[in-house]
């Protein structure tokens, strides 16, 4: 996640949530918690929400700001490259 192109757009809350989701996943994979269908479904839903977080924020009208460079340049590049 840290090396993905969306990483600069994650908020501090997103990073905390990612750590918690991965902590829960690690507990399931190492056997500290029982791996049940409902537990696996919770993991999938949490990770899916993390992937959708920037999209959900855009839909809600929350402006995404990137640290280190102008996010508008990235959006312009993305729009031009996917026409």
Evaluate whether 58 touches 64 at the Cβ level (below 8 Å): yes
Evaluate whether 36 touches 43 at the Cβ level (below 8 Å): no
Residues 33-54 pLDDT 10s = 999 999 999 999 988 888 777 6
State the pTM of this model. 0.60
Residues 14-39 pLDDT 10s = 888 888 889 999 999 999 999 999 99
Evaluate whether 50 touches 14 at the Cβ level (below 8 Å): yes
Q: Which among 31, 75, 25 is positioned nearest to 50, based on CA atoms?
A: 25
């Amino acid at each position: 996640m840290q090396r993905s192109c969306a990483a600069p757009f994650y908020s501090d809350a997103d990073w905390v949530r990612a750590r918690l989701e991965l902590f829960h996943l690690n507990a399931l994979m190492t056997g500290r918690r029982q791996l049940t269908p409902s537990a696996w479904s919770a993991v999938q839903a949490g990770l899916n929400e993390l992937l959708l977080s920037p999209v959900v924020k855009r839909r809600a009208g929350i402006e995404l700001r990137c640290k280190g460079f102008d996010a508008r340049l990235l959006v312009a590049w993305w729009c031009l490259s996917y026409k």
